[in-house]
Structure 1
Amino acid sequence: MKNTFHLFLCFLLLLVVSCSSNTNENSLPETPNEEKFYFPPLNATTWETKTISELEWNENQLQPLLDYLKEKNTKSFMILHNGKIVVEEYMNGHDASKVWYWASAGKTLTSTLTGIAIDEGIISLNNKVSKYIGTKWTSASLEKENLITCKNLLSMNSGLDDRLGDEVLPSNLHYFTDAGNRWAYHNVYVKLQDVIAQANSTTWNSYFNSKLKDRIGMTGSWIKLNSSNVYWSTTRSMARFGILIGAKGKWNDSQIVSESFLNEATNSSQNINESYGYLWWLNGKNNYLLPKIQTQLSGSLIPNAPNDMYAALGKNDQKIYIVPSKNIVIIRMGEEANTTNLALSSFDNELWSKINSLIN
């Protein structure tokens, strides 16, 4: 009996050892830790870099890319990988200390501040705009004006007439159709800056500086041009913003804007123009509309760019490209590359052909 018990114990021991061995053999190898985003220190003059050879990119394609950029009236160009600088070039009389305008690429700053205000409970996307800035901010009837929500301004489907110019005085904001029924690129989005200021009993500049600019070490300033409010900064400040968005709203250990809001902002905000989020342009969708044009175009916004790329696009080819699958942020500032444009241009697809030759 005693021998039988000992045999049973030996059998159990062998079984445990065998199971343990099998588990180790069949378990997946540990995945190496993904490189963390690098966040340049506030007010830093130095910035960590990474070489093209480290990334195993095609180094012989860098100079053709830079030659093309210079020829296309570029002033500055950066490629960052996980926040570290891989390429930083200045040309055509520009340098790292000089500022340049973001144009409509700066719409994404307003989108981000809107997200912060939502995170703080100051505003709600689905509330009507008149809740915050009062009625008669348009020339529409009160019934139609009250249909326009903060989300409509973010999505460019306010229903207001975009054919009357970019002024946002009530006399220029006329009813065209009910909010949500028509996508039209229009400067009326800037009213969100008034919404945030009024809801927080402060000024737009003060809220922007304290909630975003100072927290990620940006420099620059907003400059009023008629009804437009245009941001001007160095290229590196634009890159800091790109890093923040690429890092899903985090800066070091601080969540500046919620990841959930950014997920919404960088996905289709309505079904009329699938390639438009909350003031962000989206690649890889089935169709798109362009500023001042009501014809829906089939296919992806920038065919040569990765499908998961999303972008801040500004007049005369100001660009922030963010590609999550490649952990890269790309900045371009300068004059128009080919012809004057408000957002997308043929330059985008041409440029991505050159970028692909470098990074693929």
Structure 2
Amino acid sequence: MKKLLYPVLFIVILFFNCTSNDNPIDEIQLDDKLYFPPLNSNTWETISISSLGWNENEFKPLLNYLEEKNTKGFIILYNGKIVVERYMNQHDSEKLWYWASAGKTLTTAISGIAQNEGFININNKVSDYLGTGWTSATLQKENLITCKNLLSMDSGLDDSLGDNVSKENLKYKADAGSRWAYHNVYVKMQDVISQATNIPWSTYFNSKLKDKIGMNGAWIKNNDFNVYWSNTRSMARFGLMISANGKWENTQIVPEAFLSEATNTSQDINKAYGYMWWLNGKSSFRLPASQIEFQGDLISNAPNDMYAALGKNDQKIYIAPSKKLVIVRMGNSASDINFARSDFDNELWAKLNAFITE
């Protein structure tokens, strides 16, 4: 009888040890902790498709589709680790590519950092930083335009006059906050930050964001635009930091409260727009170069909580918190020239849904 009792006691003790606060379940949870690749290194941990239980039969069709649609770089991160990384159409991991308007979200991030450091307040007038007369509007109308209006794309300035942001081309169309229109005038936020910090835009960007998360790349002036170029992994690094509520490991890069504002509806006109982040799962949306309100989700095949940086010719950063996913796509236009959302978004998410199964 005693011989039988000891093994039973051992099993009972082992059971209670394994269900205490120090149990192996907690170790599994620690293994699921969000991963960040080291700075200044090409090292980036991977996780296999099979270990996630995704549908491997749909992997090849996804890659074929991406290549057919002029993709150059494509990355899927799950909880920070690389599941898929592919380069195609004469591209590779070292080549730089342009972010186009997906890079607007870099300006958003820097705006949050500059505000946190006390240099700006996005609720202040733009003229507080640039001086009066930065537009052709009357002083009364110009003084209605805040930095937040620039971030939200509701400055009220005339978007039909092109992308030049000289004073002569920035004309009054409607009161700030009363009309949403996709407009290159957002770039004035870079001037606001440079004036407020007394530091050149690129220098401040590099020290406060780029270097802190290990990105490469540079801002390149092109006519009226200031466009960021980098490799695909740098775009994924930025998406990862944003998905981590603005943190990189234990360092808060972009204030979490500001980022929460940025990734939620910023005004009442375009519910699918934050501070230059596009938002899924809203009841309606508007698109660049249009005053039409469309009903329904921005990207119906994507998760409702997905938000995205979208750029001309299908430059994409998708962040889907409920799925623990960051997805990056760089390349030429998948079909026609576009400025943000395109049919490609919904088609790609259909392919992703077939591949990423739970």
* TM superposition score normalised by structure 2: 0.92
Alpha-carbon displacement from aligned partner over 1:149-200 (angstroms, at most 9, x marks no partner): 0000000000000000010001110000100000000000000000001000
Q: Work out whether 1:141 is the aligned partner of 2:138.
A: yes
The letter for the 1-side match of 2:132 is: T
CA distance in 2, matches of 1:54, 1:270: 42
Amino acid paired to 1:44? S
| Partner AA of 1:348 in structure 2 | D
| Amino-acid identity (%) | 67
The counterpart of 1:314, out of the listed 311, 315, 318, is: 311
Aligned-partner residue type, residue 296 of structure 1: E
Distance 1:170 1:281 in 2: 28
- Note if 1:33 corresponds to 2:33: no
Q: Distance in 2 between matches of 1:46 and 1:178?
A: 50
Amino acid of the residue matched to residue 29 of structure 2? N
Distance 2:339 2:56 in 1: 33
Q: Identify which range, 53-62 or 148-157, moves more after superposition.
A: 53-62
| Structure 1 residue aligned with 2:245 | 248
* Count of equivalent residues: 334
Q: 154, 157, 164: which one pairs with 2:151?
A: 154
Report what 1:204 is aligned to: 201
1:158 and 1:43 mapped to 2: Cα distance? 39
**Matched residue, 1:56:** 53
Corresponding residue of 2:339: 342
C-alpha offsets along residues 190-225 of structure 1, whole Å, 9 cap, x if unaligned? 000000010001100010000000000000000001
Structure number, greater radius of gyration = 1
Query: 1:33 Cα deviation (Å)?
Result: 2.7
| 170, 190, 194: which one aligns with 2:191 | 194
What is the Cα deviation at residue 258 of structure 1?
1.1
Q: For residue 266 of structure 2, what is the aligned residue in structure 1?
A: 269
Q: Indicate yes or no: 2:60 matched with 1:73.
A: no
Matches of 1:45 and 1:290, distance apart in 2: 37
Instruction: Kindly report which structure 2 residues correspond to 1:165-204, keeping only aligned pairs within 5 A, or say none.
Output: 165-204=162-201
Residues 1:86 and 2:83 are matched in the alignment? yes
Q: Distance in 1 between matches of 2:268 and 2:54?
A: 37
Equivalent-residue separation in structure 2 for 1:33 and 1:123 (angstroms): 40
Distance, in Å, in 1 between the alignment partners of 2:57 and 2:130 is: 55
Residue of structure 2 equivalent to 1:353: 350
Task: Give the letter aligned to residue 257 of structure 2.
Answer: S
Q: Does residue 290 of structure 2 align to residue 293 of structure 1?
A: yes
Distance 2:90 2:122 in 1: 43
Deviations 1:43-96 (A, max 9, x none): 111210000111111111110000000000000110001111000000000000
Amino acid at match of 2:153: M
Where in structure 2 are there 5+ consecutive unaligned residues? 1-18, 20-24
Q: Which residue of 1 aligns with 2:5?
A: none
Deviation at 1:118, TM superposition (A): 1.1
Cα deviations across residues 96-144 of structure 1 (Å, max 9, x unaligned)? 0100000000000000000111111111011000000111110000110
Question: Aligned partner of 2:293: which letter?
Answer: Q
Per-residue deviation, 1:148: 0.2
1:127 aligns with 2:127: no
Q: Which residue of 2 aligns with 1:27?
A: none
Q: 2:223 aligns with which of 223, 226, 234?
A: 226
AA of the residue aligned to 2:327? I
**What is the aligned-residue RMSD (CA, Å)?**
1.4
Residue 12 of structure 2 is matched in structure 1 by none
Cα distance in 1, alignment partners of residues 59 and 107 from structure 2: 33
Q: Normalising by structure 1, report the TM-score.
A: 0.91
Q: Secondary structure at the match of 2:72?
A: strand
Secondary structure in structure 1 of the residue aligned to 2:329: strand
Question: Residue 96 of structure 1 is aligned with which of 83, 93, 97?
Answer: 93
Structure 2 residue 210 is matched with structure 1 residue 213: yes
> Using the alignment, how far apart are the partners of 1:288 and 1:299 within structure 2?
7
Q: Secondary structure at the match of 1:177?
A: coil
SS of the residue aligned with 1:53?
helix
Matched, 1:46 2:46: no
Distance 2:55 2:102 in 1: 29
